[in-house]
Amino acid sequence: MSGQQAPAVKKQRTQPSYELLYHPHIPGRGEFIRLAFEAAGVPYTDVANEDSENGYAKVQATCMGDDSGTEGNPPVFSPPALRIAGAGRGGNALIISQTPNCLIFLGDKLGLAGGGGEEEKLWVQQVALTALDLNNEVHDTHHPIGVSLYYEDQKEESLKKARDVRENRLPKFFSYFSRMLSWNAAKAQHTKLVGDSLTYADTTVWQVLDGLYFAFPKEMQARQAEFPELLDTFYKSVREELKTYLESSRRLKYSEGVFRSYPELDRPS
């Protein structure tokens, strides 16, 4: 038996290989998923950004166009999606899509779903889902009429939509997140939304707030005194937890995604 090679199976990964399939160069909806990996300190491959030559073609093949499923998985409606090698049936990859679906899946695997069992898991889920609804509404401030039309072709409507979102929707969502923080304050003094450790509810709400600071700086500045626990204590505390990532080159700049800098859509001076 001496001299025999160790069987290949010994080379098996001790950790799943997570691949994020998303558009390159923008934070977008992929950012909610990146933040989960980064907060947990778990490695992942950002396919389109890490392989500038072939990465986006891989994303497109799985997530866009008229695909009818890949590697035994059903078709994907649109990016982001996750591919986890070996986690599917018969040794195939598991491919799942829809931002909340990816977060719910990762919340469990990465320990970001709260430490309080089923009940806390459901609350983390409902807060993250609400933050993603807000994310959609913010997207619609520059695309109220059609996703496939240019902003310039729906600018008049954007001015009206942005005003409604700033004046009515932001305070409604901010009030809810603030009440969550107050409700949970006995456990985490306004630094966590559910339970006493960081969850994907925190990272998801944080990312929307951070995007809003980019898109509507004047509006956010004006709201700060109204929602201090959310826009000061919570926002800064989560930013501190994500500091290493946020200062790295992996953190992509806002540009032409969900959060855009159109000063005319912000609160008038």
**Out of 16, 45, 67, 228, which residue is the one contacting a copy of itself (CB under 8 A)?**
67
| Helices 30-40/200-215 angle, 10° precision | 130
Q: Count CA atoms within 13 Å of residue 24 on its CB side.
A: 14
DSSP 114-156: -SSHHHHHHHHHHHHHHHHHHHHHHHTTT-SS-TTS-GGGGHH
Complex with a copy of itself: residue 49 or 219, whichever CB lies closer: 219
Q: Shortest Cβ distance from residue 253 to a copy of itself (Å)?
A: 27
Q: Whole-angstrom distance between the N-terminal and C-terminal Cα of the chain?
A: 81
* Residue in the structure block whose two tokens are 């930013």: 239
User: Is residue 130 close enough to count as binding a copy of itself by CB under 8 A?
Assistant: yes
Assigned token pair, 150: 């240019």
Q: Which of residues 73-112 bind a copy of itself (CB under 8 A)?
A: 73-75, 77, 88-89, 94, 96-98, 100-101, 104-105
SS3 content of the chain, % helix, strand, coil (to 5): 55, 5, 40
Q: Shortest Cβ distance from residue 172 to a copy of itself (Å)?
A: 8
User: Is residue 221 close enough to count as binding a copy of itself by CB under 8 A?
Assistant: no
**Out of 50, 52, 61, 136, which residue is the one contacting a copy of itself (CB under 8 A)?**
136
Q: Shortest Cβ distance from residue 55 to a copy of itself (Å)?
A: 22
Assigned token pair, 79: 């990016």
# residues contacting a copy of itself (CB under 8 A): 50
User: Is residue 140 close enough to count as binding a copy of itself by CB under 8 A?
Assistant: yes
- Cβ atoms of residues 100 and 80 within 8 Å: no
User: Is residue 261 close enough to count as binding a copy of itself by CB under 8 A?
Assistant: no
| Helices 170-188/117-139 angle, 10° precision | 150
Q: Shortest Cβ distance from residue 43 to a copy of itself (Å)?
A: 22
* CA quadruple 83, 86, 91, 94: dihedral sign: negative
Stretch that binds a copy of itself, among 7-15, 35-43, 70-78, 239-247 (CB under 8 A): 70-78
Complex with a copy of itself: residue 50 or 119, whichever CB lies closer: 119
**Out of 119, 226, 232, 256, which residue is the one contacting a copy of itself (CB under 8 A)?**
119
Query: CA 92 to CA 83: how far, in whole Å?
Result: 10
State the residues that interact with a copy of itself by CB under 8 A: 66-69, 73-75, 77, 88-89, 94, 96-98, 100-101, 104-105, 119, 122-123, 125-127, 129-130, 136, 140, 144-149, 154, 157, 160-161, 164, 168-169, 173, 175-176, 179-180, 182-184, 194
